[in-house]
């Protein structure tokens, strides 16, 4: 018999606990098992960021878990994140709000972001996630890969103006239009980072990589261990020609001597190879023969070993990290301005990527 239109009255009380409502096989349960001990270990770090007097704040552990949800489920803004925390039972359970816990305002993230950045919370969280991977035997100590990728800044090319004219309201390059998006004609004008600067994000730089068009950008750098593709180091720099190789040497300096560093042909430079050798490292960068070079410091003494070919093959996995960060982790064009905020978001998103890798690699 066909049922009639439902006129069920809303229940005044719920007799199902949140713990029972979340499936036991849900992947967020494994992530929460990893995150809770890490945040507990960070208690002294949080304690030093807050005053001992005054009105109690939103627990930083809840803020970080909410931001983790935002990255993991690609929630495009903090406004939408707060909205979903009101009605999404899964998110409330993970953050620890319970059925009737009050959800904070969107501005809470903005007010606490500077505190989290100054306390280097993302770096600490990332380091503890890497330590967790090491404790499970997932991190190689001998073979690594490095790469860099463009992070598009939250600034348009129209904001890239002459340094002496960027604050002037009477810019003769404007050609009609009004408001915050006027028409601008840059024909015949040579624009470089030496003479021009973005009025929206002065720390961003105009940059072009490969066949991509020039954009206001930063550069994100990652070092990956080759065994399981776990990211072990990261940083964000301003975009310039030597940023990638300089960051590679800087990240390699934290490793023990004897490690191999795989990379693409852009890292095959005499200076980079020499700098790595001074650190006791062996460069396994792809030989840059397409640039017309007939000699390279990476010669037969390195390429004859089977490990060199393995490094070249494993190196490609680092592209998976950047692919995840840009498609899932909101890092294609993050809605932040300034290098410090971009660096914080990049490091935090990379820590979440490692958590997903650990969950997938470790059986329940």
Task: Return the pLDDT at 131.
Answer: 97
Residues of the chain above pLDDT 90, percent: 62
CA distances from 246 to 108, 145, 170 (A): 36, 14, 40
The answer to whether 85 and 92 have CB atoms below 8 angstroms apart is yes
* Residue 205 is assigned to a structural domain of this protein: no
For residues 148 and 162, membership in a common domain is answered with no
Place of tokens 């919370």: 121
Distance CA 333, CA 76 (A): 11
Query: 61 and 102: one domain?
Result: yes
- 0.85 exceeded by the pTM? yes
Does residue 251 sit within a domain?
yes
Task: State how far the Cα of 231 lies from the Cα of 225, in Å rounded to an integer.
Answer: 6
CATH of the domain at 297: 3.30.420
**Residues 161 and 147 both lie in one domain:** no
Contact present, 356 and 229 (Cβ < 8 Å) = no
* Whole-number Å distance between alpha carbons of 130 and 354: 8
Instruction: Tell me, yes or no, whether 256 and 278 share the same domain.
Output: yes
Residues 181 and 25: their CA atoms lie apart, in Å, by 49
For 89-108, the pLDDT digits (tens) are: 999 999 998 888 889 988 88
Mean pLDDT calculated for residue range 216-239: 96
- Asked whether residue 307 falls in the same domain as residue 220, the answer is yes
Indicate the SS3 state at residue 18: helix
- The number of distinct structural domains making up the chain is 3
Q: Which helix (H) or strand (E) holds 119?
A: none
On whether residue 134 sits in a domain, the answer given is no
Assigned domain for 223 exists: yes
**Cβ–Cβ under 8 Å, residues 99 and 88:** no
- Tell me which residue of 315, 344, 318 sits closest to 331, measured CA to CA: 344
Highest mean predicted confidence (pLDDT) among 45-49, 112-116, 223-227: 223-227
Confidence of residue 14 (pLDDT cuts 50, 70, 90): low
Question: Can you give the residue range of the structural domain that contains 170?
Answer: 156-199
In this prediction, residue 301 carries a pLDDT of 87
| Residue carrying structure tokens 């950047």 | 322
47 token code pair: 């304690």
Do 186 and 163 belong to one domain? Answer: yes
- pLDDT tens by residue, 26-72: 999 999 999 999 999 999 888 888 777 778 788 899 999 999 999 99
For residues 110 and 172, membership in a common domain is answered with no
Query: Is residue 309's pLDDT more than 90?
Result: yes
Residue 360, in any domain of the structure:
no
Predicted pLDDT of residue 132: 97
DSSP string covering 87-104, please? Answer: H-HHHHHHHT-TTTPPPP
**pLDDT, position 172:** 46
Residue 192 lies in a domain: yes
Closest CA relative to residue 155, chosen from 241, 71, 238 = 238
What are 124-173's pLDDT values in tens digits?
999 999 999 999 999 999 999 999 999 999 998 888 988 876 555 445 44
Instruction: Indicate whether 146 and 254 sit together in one domain.
Output: yes
Residue 131 located in a structural domain: no
Q: Give Cβ neighbours of residue 147 (< 8 Å, ≥ 6 apart).
A: 221, 222, 224, 244, 263, 264, 315, 318, 319, 322
Nearest to 300 by CA among 312, 287, 311, 315: 287
3-state DSSP assignment of residue 334? coil
Residue 303 counted as domain residue: yes
Output b/e per residue, 87-122; b: 16+ Cβ within 10 A: ebebbbbbbebeeeeebbeeebbeebbeebbebebb
Residues 36, 77, single domain; the answer is yes
Mean pLDDT of 207-225: 92
**Secondary structure (H, E, C), 36-88:** HHHHHHCHHHHHCCCCCCCCCCCCHHHHHHHHHHHHHCCCCCHHHHHHHHHHC
């Amino acid at each position: 018999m066909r049922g009639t239109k439902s006129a069920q009255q809303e229940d005044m009380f719920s007799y199902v606990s949140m713990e029972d409502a979340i499936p036991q096989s849900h992947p967020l349960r494994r992530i929460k098992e990893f995150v809770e001990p890490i945040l507990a270990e960070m208690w002294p770090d949080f304690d030093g960021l807050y005053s001992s007097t005054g009105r109690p704040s939103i627990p930083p552990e809840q803020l970080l878990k909410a931001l983790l949800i935002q990255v993991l489920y690609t929630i495009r803004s903090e406004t939408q994140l707060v909205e979903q925390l009101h009605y999404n039972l899964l998110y409330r359970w993970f953050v620890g709000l319970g059925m009737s816990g009050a959800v904070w305002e969107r501005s809470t993230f903005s007010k606490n972001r500077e505190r989290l950045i100054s306390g280097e919370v993302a770096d600490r969280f990332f380091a503890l996630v890497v330590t967790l991977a090491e404790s499970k035997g997932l991190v190689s100590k001998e073979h690594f890969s490095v790469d860099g990728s463009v992070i598009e800044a939250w600034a348009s090319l129209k904001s890239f103006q002459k340094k002496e004219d960027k604050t002037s309201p009477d810019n003769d390059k404007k050609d009609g239009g009004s408001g915050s998006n006027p028409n601008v004609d840059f024909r015949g004008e040579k624009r470089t980072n030496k003479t021009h600067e973005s009025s929206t994000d002065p720390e961003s730089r105009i940059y072009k990589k490969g066949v991509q068009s020039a954009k206001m950008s930063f550069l994100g750098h990652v070092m990956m261990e080759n065994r399981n593709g776990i990211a072990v180091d990261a940083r964000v720099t301003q975009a310039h020609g030597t940023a990638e190789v300089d960051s590679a040497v800087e990240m390699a300096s934290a490793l023990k001597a004897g490690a191999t560093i795989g990379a693409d042909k852009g890292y095959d430079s005499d200076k980079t190879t020499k700098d790595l050798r001074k650190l006791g490292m062996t460069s396994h960068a792809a030989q840059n023969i397409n640039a017309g070079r007939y000699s390279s410091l990476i010669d037969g003494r390195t390429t004859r070993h089977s490990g060199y070919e393995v490094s070249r093959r494993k190196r490609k996995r680092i592209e998976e990290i950047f692919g995840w960060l840009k498609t899932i982790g909101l890092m294609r064009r993050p809605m932040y301005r300034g290098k410090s905020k971009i660096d914080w978001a990049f490091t935090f998103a990379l820590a979440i990527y490692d958590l997903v890798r650990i969950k997938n690699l470790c059986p329940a």
